[in-house]
Amino acid sequence: MNWALALPEIVLALCGMAILLLGVLRRGDTTALCGWAVLAAFVLAAALVATGADGHAYHDMFIVDAFARFAKLLILTGAALACLLAMDWNRREGIARFEFPVLALFATVGMMLMVSASSFMSLYLGLELQSLSLYVMAAFARDDVRSSEAGLKYFVLGALASGLLLYGISLVYGFSGGLDFAGVAQAVASPELASPGFIVGVMFVVVGLAFKISAVPFHMWAPDVYQGAPTPVTAFFGTAPKVAAMALLLRVLGVPFVHVPWIPVVMLMSIGSMLLGSFGAIAQTNIKRLMAYSSIGHVGYALIGLAAGTVDGVRGVLIYLVTYVFMNIGSFAVIAAMRRRGRAVENIVDLAGLGRTDPGLALALAVFMFSMAGIPPLAGFFGKLYVFLAAVQRGQWTLAVIGVLTSVIGAVYYLRVIKVMYFDAPGEPFEARATATSVLVFGCALFTALFFLFPSAIVASADAAARSLF
């Protein structure tokens, strides 16, 4: 058995336990120390992922290929950036505790296991490890009613989704006889062999995973949880777990369920998410709620690539996720910088006149908003371009047309933020922000703005990752 294939996960988990012990046993305030240690562990794990070998291990429950490696690097990047954002925020909010980075680390281990899963059992355990850590992180500001509410809501609905997922897995096992992805694909080797019971199982599995990426109609939890959870946690929710669940969906629909006609279902979820994301966001006044609807819309765009079901489609989804992680972390870093008189402000009107009081921050947020709206030559444009291209090549014109139309509608609320920043009367300036926040804001803004200079490297590795899945 080639246990070393899981070396990044093993090393990361061991680092997590060591950091936990450090935090518990060392006297005094260890929050900052543990935070930096977790960041170092992420870098170490990323180095191990990048240099690791391909193959199957652990009784065919664990697979490492170019796809898993691409997704893991993206997950580690998102998690590290969100943890960096959290260090300063938690200190200012008075919720700084060393358990926060440790929980983020264990959630990351779960996500890495999810993208490497090649059996329904390892899939489920990875998903639970991730979800359980995220429930606690959502409720981390435990004295804040909305944060507790977010944690409870996420927990109850997440438990329901896990139940549906498990029920689906049991049906899939019963009707195909296999739990590992290759075995299921072998047993159901053509569409005629997929019995109705098997298809019901597949649908339950898809519902369980669609809940995790908050695709319509399983999105109800997202706005409340995004608004209630502490801002860095929301930034984390929007990046790493979405990447992990999306990668999992790509693998599950691409390998064991490849002969099940799931494309119409994904198309429906995609269209629903794009429509709800763009129309639901228009009436929002809270910027975190706005970002929640925006994330539902972005999931819809990413699902276009999945619905295409081709190498190009998967490549499009991966590129979309890369651009989305940086736009999202950057936007939330700006939201985390919105503080007045020691308190966080979250309304869109609080951004009024930012163009005059803090031109740098306003410019960065403008870059993120334009990019999310898909204006060329920013990164978000390329993400949308590649998924639309895949849909057009597959002849799925409906998806591409609805995608373009909802992008235009979505531009309304992104532009409204920019209008508030540049054309409204300025309010009180924000508090001075931490260096780490500035680095995140301007680093992500630079990546988003200059993506068009270096897309070939990312496109090439996304292409290699997508090919390894087929």
Catalog residues that contact another protein under the rule CB under 8 A: 6, 13, 17, 20, 58-59, 61-62, 97, 99, 102-103, 106, 109-110, 113, 121-122, 125-126, 128-129, 132-133, 135-136, 139-140, 142, 151, 174-178, 183, 186-189, 193-200
Minimal distance in Å, beta carbon 187 to another protein? 4
H helix or E strand, kind and range, residue 57? strand 55-57
User: What 8-state DSSP symbol labels residue 429?
Assistant: P
Nearer to another protein, 198 or 221 (CB): 198
Minimal distance in Å, beta carbon 236 to another protein? 15
Output the DSSP codes for 167-203. HHHHHHHHHH---BHHHHHHHT-SGGG--HHHHHHHH
Nearer to another protein, 163 or 376 (CB): 163
Place of tokens 């200012």: 92
Question: How far, in Å, CA of 197 to CA of 156, rounded?
Answer: 27
Minimal distance in Å, beta carbon 4 to another protein? 13
Nearer to another protein, 89 or 106 (CB): 106
Nearer to another protein, 194 or 269 (CB): 194
Minimal distance in Å, beta carbon 295 to another protein? 24
Nearer to another protein, 189 or 412 (CB): 189
Q: Which of 368, 189, 211 is nearest to 290 (CA)?
A: 368
Question: How far, in Å, CA of 224 to CA of 293, rounded?
Answer: 10
In 337-378, which residue ranges form alpha helices assigned H by DSSP? 354-357, 359-373
- End-to-end CA separation in angstroms for the chain: 25
Minimal distance in Å, beta carbon 5 to another protein? 10
Task: Decide if 357 contacts 426 (C-beta within 8 A).
Answer: yes
Minimal distance in Å, beta carbon 39 to another protein? 19
Nearer to another protein, 220 or 450 (CB): 220
221-224's contacts with Cβ under 8 Å and 24+ in sequence apart are 221/153, 221/154, 221/157, 221/158, 222/292, 222/293, 222/295, 222/296, 223/280, 223/289, 223/292, 223/293, 224/149, 224/150, 224/153
Pairing of strands 343-344, 62-64: unpaired
Minimal distance in Å, beta carbon 461 to another protein? 27
Nearer to another protein, 121 or 363 (CB): 121
Question: How far, in Å, CA of 69 to CA of 89, rounded?
Answer: 30
Hey, what's the torsion of the CAs at 251, 256, 262, 268, to 10 degrees? -30
Minimal distance in Å, beta carbon 132 to another protein? 5
Question: How far, in Å, CA of 317 to CA of 322, rounded?
Answer: 9
Nearer to another protein, 143 or 432 (CB): 143
Question: How far, in Å, CA of 99 to CA of 137, rounded?
Answer: 9
Tokens encoding 140: 């981390």
Nearer to another protein, 179 or 296 (CB): 179
Question: How far, in Å, CA of 19 to CA of 309, rounded?
Answer: 42
Nearer to another protein, 124 or 386 (CB): 124
Nearer to another protein, 133 or 461 (CB): 133
Nearer to another protein, 10 or 409 (CB): 10
Question: How far, in Å, CA of 56 to CA of 118, rounded?
Answer: 9
Q: What are phi and psi of 459, to 5 degrees?
A: -65, -40
Q: Per this entry, what is the length of the chain? A: 470
Minimal distance in Å, beta carbon 469 to another protein? 21
Tokens encoding 356: 């005059």
Task: Decide if 380 contacts 371 (C-beta within 8 A).
Answer: yes
Minimal distance in Å, beta carbon 131 to another protein? 10
